[in-house]
């Protein structure tokens, strides 16, 4: 895959109408949408160049995820989930598996990487069994991943390893269970894995992945790399929520009000406040990720950089959900009915429930503040 960073953002913008037009809550993201994202090269924005990816700089990848998520939060979520997985395995998997997985370009992938399964040693690989949730994009995925703890055969003082494994989607059994408030079209279903053989080259250590391909971007590790997509999702959907409120206010005249919404001083204060809060949260995102990119380029990426991007992601997601809630209330009964603002409200609130946007990151960020040397 070749091309400039601006090419990928332009491609995402060109697809806005298609993605928005296919947005739904009644089924998974349309096949046509995912096909268009793949054909535009957007599935590979986080994958190393050595495996056919774009390996975009962090803030450029953020821009792409935000643009797709602006058009449809579920499409943006599926894209960022897949791109994160292929970024992981493109950089950290063994050579044999990388050649197989990326033989026909950057594929679509899905999977939950919490260690909800076990891996039993079998020759040059592992037998994986487990029950998983949140297989975002699994309806379109060619490959599915799973987090596992290795069996130690009862050896005293032995600690299991935490591995991430990837295998063909056909070896995972989808079990549904996705009746949810938001991000409905991600089809983030539960799935089962039973005694699936995964070669060593299709696994890596969650806590200490070895970079085999790609640049310093991949030194962010699993959590750091994952935050890129989540932050882009929150930026894009929050931007859409505020824009939808502006569009509604341009024509809406609330019952009993003496003037249209756009002429109400109270509404103007509320709208200006929401816009300011969004811009502040977005600025934190681009500051933290920009600092991480520069540190990575200089060979000086630290755990503190990773914790900062994690906290920026938490902040923009939580703030975005609150901004969308306020926008929903201000829009009145217009937002009560099916519309993009209502969908943004639901999608952002669904996004707040992910581990990546939990207070675990906030605690790590705060500990860094307490241990930083005085200046």
- The Cα-based distances of 119 to 30, 192, 206 in angstroms read 34, 14, 14
Instruction: Mark whether 140 and 83 lie in a shared domain.
Output: no
When pLDDT is cut at 50, 70 and 90, the band that residue 258 belongs to is low
Total domains in the chain come to 3
Q: Are residues 253 and 358 in the same domain?
A: yes
Residue 211 lies in a domain: no
Show the 3-state SS of 97-116.
HHHHHCCCCCCCEEEEEEEE
DSSP 8-state secondary structure symbol assigned to residue 374: P
Q: Per-residue pLDDT for 147 more than 80? A: yes
Question: Is the same domain home to 97 and 115?
Answer: no
Residue 242 confidence (pLDDT) above 60: yes
In a domain, 297, yes or no: yes
pLDDT digits (tens, 9 = 90+) for 58-94: 999 999 999 999 999 999 999 999 999 999 999 999 9
**Residues 255 and 358 grouped into a single domain:** yes
φ and ψ of 177, to 5 deg: 70, 50
> How far apart (Å, rounded) are the C-alpha atoms in residues 49 and 151?
35
Answer whether 285's CB lies under 8 Å from 328's CB: no
Contact 89, 141 (CB under 8 A): no
Percentage of the chain modeled with pLDDT above 70: 96
Q: Are 189 and 82 in contact (CB under 8 A)?
A: no
Q: What is the mean pLDDT of the chain?
A: 95
Name residue, tokens 């490959």: 143
Whether 233 shows a pLDDT value over 60: the answer reads yes
- Sign of torsion over alpha carbons 259, 265, 271, 272: positive
**Claim to verify: residue 346 and residue 232 sit in the same structural domain:** yes
Same domain, 201 and 336: no
Phi and psi torsions of 241, nearest 5°: -60, -45
Nearest one of 341, 345, 290, 343 to 312, comparing CA atoms: 290
Same domain, 193 and 81: no
Both 168 and 228 in a single domain? Answer: no
Mean pLDDT, range 241-267, rounded to an integer = 85
* Residue 229 and residue 195 share a domain: no
State the pLDDT confidence band at 350, using cuts at 50, 70 and 90: very high
CA distances in angstroms from 194 to 116, 130, 142, 283, listed in the order given: 12, 7, 18, 45
230 and 152 in a single domain? The answer is no
User: Looking at residue 256, what is its pLDDT?
Assistant: 62
SS3 256: coil
In degrees and rounded to multiples of 5, residue 105 shows phi and psi of 105, -175
What are the tens digits of pLDDT across the range 298-341? 999 999 999 999 999 999 999 999 999 999 999 999 999 999 99
Q: Which tokens in the block code for residue 35?
A: 């096909």
Q: Domain limits at 27?
A: 5-101
pLDDT band at 261 (very low <50, low <70, confident <90, very high): confident
Q: Which of 99, 96, 101, 103 is nearest to 86 (CA)?
A: 101
* Selection from 116, 121, 173 nearest residue 147 by Cα: 116
SS3 content of the chain, % helix, strand, coil (to 5): 55, 15, 30
Residues 18 and 152 placed together within one structural domain of the fold: no
């Amino acid at each position: 895959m070749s091309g400039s960073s601006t090419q990928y953002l332009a491609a995402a913008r060109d697809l806005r109408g298609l993605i928005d037009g296919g947005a739904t809550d009644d089924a998974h993201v349309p096949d046509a949408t995912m096909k268009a994202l793949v054909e535009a090269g957007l599935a590979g924005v986080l994958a190393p160049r050595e495996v056919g990816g774009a390996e975009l700089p962090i803030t450029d990848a953020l821009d792409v995820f935000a643009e797709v998520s602006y058009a449809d939060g579920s499409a943006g979520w599926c894209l960022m989930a897949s791109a994160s997985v292929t970024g992981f395995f493109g950089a950290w998997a063994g050579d044999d598996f990388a050649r197989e997985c990326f033989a026909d370009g950057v594929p679509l992938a899905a999977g939950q990487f919490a260690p909800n399964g076990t891996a039993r040693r079998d020759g040059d690989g592992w037998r994986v069994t487990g029950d998983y949730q949140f297989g975002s994009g699994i309806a379109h995925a060619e490959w599915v991943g799973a987090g596992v703890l290795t069996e130690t055969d009862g050896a005293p003082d032995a600690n299991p390893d935490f591995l991430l494994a990837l295998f063909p989607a056909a070896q995972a059994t989808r079990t549904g269970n996705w009746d949810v408030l938001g991000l409905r079209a991600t089809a983030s279903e539960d799935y089962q894995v039973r005694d699936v053989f995964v070669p060593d080259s299709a696994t890596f250590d969650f806590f200490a992945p070895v970079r085999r391909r790609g640049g310093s971007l991949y030194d962010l590790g699993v959590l750091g790399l994952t935050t890129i997509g989540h932050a882009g999702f929150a930026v894009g959907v929050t931007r859409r929520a505020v824009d939808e409120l502006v569009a509604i206010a341009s024509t809406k005249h609330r019952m009993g009000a003496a003037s249209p919404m756009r002429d109400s001083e109270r509404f103007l204060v509320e709208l200006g406040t929401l816009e300011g809060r969004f811009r502040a949260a977005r600025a934190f995102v681009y500051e933290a990720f920009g600092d991480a990119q520069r540190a990575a380029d200089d060979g000086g990426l630290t755990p503190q950089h990773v914790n900062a991007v994690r906290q920026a992601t938490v902040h923009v997601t939580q703030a975005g959900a609150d901004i969308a809630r306020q926008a929903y209330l201000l829009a009145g009964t217009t937002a009560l009915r099916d519309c993009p603002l209502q969908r943004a409200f639901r999608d952002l609130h669904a996004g707040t429930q992910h581990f990546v946007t939990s207070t675990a990151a906030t605690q790590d960020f705060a500990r860094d503040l307490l241990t930083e040397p005085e200046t």
